[in-house]
Structure 1
């Protein structure tokens, strides 16, 4: 009984953090039942995770943008345009992949610096600046693809980024991708050690921590979830290069936002930019960094999407920014700014991708899919407002 009460208390206090996990579990359970288990098949789960890669990368950058109370509507067509530029550099200019990728990422940074300059230095509304960027890069994408409409990419190395899987040099278990299982096991060990270290630090500085029994339940639940997903992926083709790239991006930005001075400054600016200025934080530099980071990740998203399609098309980037914004809000980013986690936005992206995959399996019409996804976004924002009001 005491354990149950502790669990209820923890959920009430951390409903923003754990609510999305509960929602994801419920979505997967419902679609698995309705699809007679097809939803949770290794093939579908692998395709689901791989297909969300380019949106997950955008969601990471959008999380920081929303935290500092701005918006960037241009990222979808920035991704589409730079993906087309990458295709053009490889097909028309015969540049190698190892040169093309840094060029595209650098162009993304330049675009973000320009957007950040307009917002931070000239004090223009981010909505207007990014809306103009959306139109400009939509036109630029049409111009780049004007001759053929689609640029086919024959480069296998580049295409492997989107459709390839990591090799398995071990091959100890027949029918399973052994290296994926090893990576999953190492990830579980790392997670457990990090949680113990975090708890120890909180106790050291006399911060509130969850009861030890609840702490162990959390460790077992998350470890079991990681183990299950790893098992499912290893039963198919293992980890894809897309998933590896997304994990690296999430790890880097999680470290940036939780362990660095810059990360603390980003949250401070989002919480109260005037107070941040008075405390000595250079709000303009933080804004420049966040926007340049966003467009760099948009460039990476364009690379992932173009490599997945193995071509650049005139429709690339359409609606990407909306999916990224929805993923961030569903993942717990506050509409008021100053609150949100990179890891939460990834779960949000997974929730939205699971909804799309499940509805496709059930042959739900496209019109109803848009309505349902829109309703989910509204519910996420309502939930955010209600929890903030209760906290006050």
Structure 2
């Protein structure tokens, strides 16, 4: 009976801590039950290709929100960076890498511009980026001369539409894709084991060894199943590799680096951070520089996916990125949030959009349903957190 009670308590605690993850699983199960093709290899591949740029934006946005700021300009920066890249590659006939470099330079300059006004002039980020949303959209129209530019073709097109496959052969599935996912599972297991040992060394509480092993088995099974589905479709998407590298890098930055800890300190209590010797101005400045660069990365991915640049590209992207962060557990007051949570929030939005499109739900009704589901998902997470606080 004690063992059963221990397992029940562990499950309850995990549910309280992972409310949004449970909501995500429930949404996936719902759409899978309503549409047989939802979890098909082809549709899972399309999910990766169609929504990767929102997840890239969410990585940068969650850092901005943790610092207690907001960025409303990222959709316009996506459009501007894509427009500049198209002008360089399509209009001027330069190599694909020159277009990518030009787009990244645009994002860097945008981040420096906005970071200066926020950090050193003292204008609230909301106002600076609202002005930036208008400014960079206008510049996009100027760069494109109010017309679309297409197609990119070649290597640039493959950034968001290309696949790595056939390197190790195939037997109805791509072996290379499975190997990469297998390496990812091993890496995750090793990192979790080291984290567990570190907590034990510092006499912190950890889950029982059987629960730890069960978690690893479940994660490994889900990841390898997803990898197998991709391997039977078109192989490993290039953009998934880009996204995975960004997620790993920024998870390490936010959780393991001094810069990451300072971001949390500034967002949690700006005055206390200043008294502790944290340079609040530098933190805010580099947070916006980072957001500008990631927005340009998303601009490259989106323009590659669309195989061109349009003046209206990126509209409402900022709201999708912000919603992904808040759904994933970020606090509106700053100081709280994780890259992993933002990814789950972004996936919830992607799954809902894709699932409703497959079902043929009208666009107007999609907006209504999406708003209600997002509200319920956040309410469920808040309810779980309150239960956890009462339990303590």
TM-score (norm 1): 0.94
Partner of 1:141: 140
Gaps of 5+ in 2: none
1:213 Cα deviation after fit = 2.0
Deviations along 1:118-166, one digit per CA (max 9) or x if unpaired, are 111111111111111111112122222235x210023311000011111
Partner of 1:323: 320
Secondary structure of 1:95's counterpart equals coil
Residue 227 (structure 1) aligned to one of 224, 228, 239: 224
Is the 8 Å Cα contact of residues 87 and 151 (structure 1) preserved in structure 2?
yes
Partner of 1:34: 34
Shift in alpha-carbon separation, 1:134–1:6, aligned structure 2, 3 A:
farther
Gaps of 5+ in 1: none
Secondary structure of 1:368's counterpart equals helix
Is the 8 Å Cα contact of residues 11 and 18 (structure 1) preserved in structure 2?
no
Is the 8 Å Cα contact of residues 6 and 214 (structure 1) preserved in structure 2?
no
Secondary structure of 2:72's counterpart equals coil
Is the 8 Å Cα contact of residues 111 and 295 (structure 1) preserved in structure 2?
yes
Partner of 1:366: 363
Distance 2:386 2:378 in 1: 12
Deviations along 1:86-131, one digit per CA (max 9) or x if unpaired, are 0011122222122221222122111112111111111111111111
Query: What are the within-5 Å matches in structure 2 for residues 146-295 of structure 1?
Result: 146=145, 149-171=147-169, 173-295=170-292
1:388 Cα deviation after fit = 5.8
1:45 Cα deviation after fit = 0.7
Is the 8 Å Cα contact of residues 118 and 124 (structure 2) preserved in structure 1?
yes
Instruction: Say how many residue pairs are matched.
Output: 389
TM-score (norm 2): 0.94
Partner of 2:62: 63
Secondary structure of 2:309's counterpart equals strand
Secondary structure of 2:149's counterpart equals strand
Partner of 1:93: 92
Secondary structure of 1:121's counterpart equals helix
Moved more, 200-209 or 23-32: 23-32
Partner of 1:49: 48
Distance 1:232 1:375 in 2: 30
1:377 Cα deviation after fit = 3.3
1:314 Cα deviation after fit = 2.0
Is the 8 Å Cα contact of residues 83 and 144 (structure 2) preserved in structure 1?
yes
Deviations along 1:209-235, one digit per CA (max 9) or x if unpaired, are 112222112111111111111011111
Shift in alpha-carbon separation, 1:281–1:383, aligned structure 2, 3 A:
farther
Is the 8 Å Cα contact of residues 49 and 350 (structure 1) preserved in structure 2?
no
Distance 2:157 2:47 in 1: 18
Q: Over aligned residue pairs, what C-alpha RMSD do you find?
A: 1.8
